[in-house]
Amino acid sequence: MTATHALCVALLAVFSLAAAHADGLRFESGPNRVELIELYTSEGCSSCPPADRWLSRLKKHPGLWSEFAPIAFHVDYWDYIGWQDRFADPEFSERQRTYAREGSAPFVYTPGVFRSGDDWREWRSESLQPGPGVESGVLTVEVESDVVHVRFAASDSGSNPYVAHIAVLGMGLSTDVQAGENRGKKLQHDFVALDVRSTALEWRDGVYDSTFVFEDRAFPGDGDTALVAWVSGSDSQVPLQAAGGYLSGK
C-alpha cells in the first residue's frame, strides 16, 4: 500500500463520532492563555524522530488542553531528499517561514518548536511548565456533527480584528519509511495536523465568532483524534489563545 493510498483509507470518521454525542462537544479555555505548542517536523529529517517522541509524551502531561495544546506541522521542504512525507503540506512550510519573516525565529529548520509563537530551543532539556498566566480572553469551541463554531470573548470591545484557526489532529499514526534519511525506520506520530482551516472572526453581540463547516470525511489513525482551535491577530500569526480536546477515543 502506498503512502498516498494509506492516507486516503477511511479508518476514522471524525465528525460522525462527534455527532454521536447528544449534546455535541465543547472545549473552552479559561481567561489565561492556553499556549499553542507547534512542532515543525518531517519524516525525511533524521533529527526529527526524537522531537516526534517528545511531542507524543505530552499525551500524559497533566496540563494537556488546560495549559497547552500541541500540534505537529509536517513540512514539505525535505521531501526532495528521497522520501515524500504523506502528512506534509506546503502551507505548513509557509507558516514556519512566516514566523521567520515576523522575527519569531532566525531561520527555518527542523525539528523546530514554537511556544506561543516564540522559537523555543529549550524543549529538549526543559520540562513544560505553566506559562506566565497572560490574560487573553476566553475561547470556546463547539462541535455539532460537521459544524465547528468558534467564539472568542476578548476584552477589546470589538476594536481589533482576529483570525480563527482550527485543526483536526491525528493520533496513533505510523509510517514505515522506505527511503531518505529515515529509511528502514517505523515512525510514530501524534497531534499531527491533518486539516487546518482559517477564517476571520466577526464581531457580533459582544463576542467574536465564526463557523466552520466540514463535509463528511474521514482521517487515518488507530488512536484518538483531536481538534484544536487558536486565535491570532490579523497582522501576525502568533497565537493569542487556544482551546481543544479529543474528538474520539476518550
The DSSP string of 151-173 is EEE-SSTT-S-EEEEEEEEE-SE
Q: How many CA within 13 A on the CB side of residue 63? A: 14
The pTM assigned to this predicted structure is 0.88
In contact, 162 and 232? CB cutoff 8 Å: yes
Question: What is the band of 29 on the pLDDT scale with cuts at 50, 70, 90?
Answer: very high
Q: How far apart are CA 215 and CA 197, in angstroms?
A: 13
Q: How far apart are CA 17 and CA 20, in angstroms?
A: 5
State the DSSP code for 142: E
Q: How far apart are CA 137 and CA 121, in angstroms?
A: 27
Q: Calculate the alpha carbon distances from 3 to 73, 209, 210 in Å.
A: 17, 37, 34
Q: How far apart are CA 79 and CA 77, in angstroms?
A: 6
Q: Which residue is listed with cell 524522530?
A: 49
Q: What is the mean pLDDT of residues 87-100?
A: 97
Cell of 206: 459582544
Tens digit of each residue's pLDDT (9 = 90 or more) over 42-74:
999 999 999 999 999 999 999 999 999 999 999
The Cβ of residue 53 has, within 10 Å, a number of other Cβ atoms equal to 13
Q: What is the mean pLDDT of residues 218-226?
A: 62
Q: How far apart are CA 187 and CA 41, in angstroms?
A: 12
Cell of 144: 455539532
What pLDDT does residue 250 have?
A: 54
SS3 193: strand
What whole-number percentage of the chain has pLDDT above 70? Answer: 83
- What integer best gives the mean pLDDT of the chain? 86
Question: What is the band of 145 on the pLDDT scale with cuts at 50, 70, 90?
Answer: confident
What pLDDT does residue 83 have?
A: 97
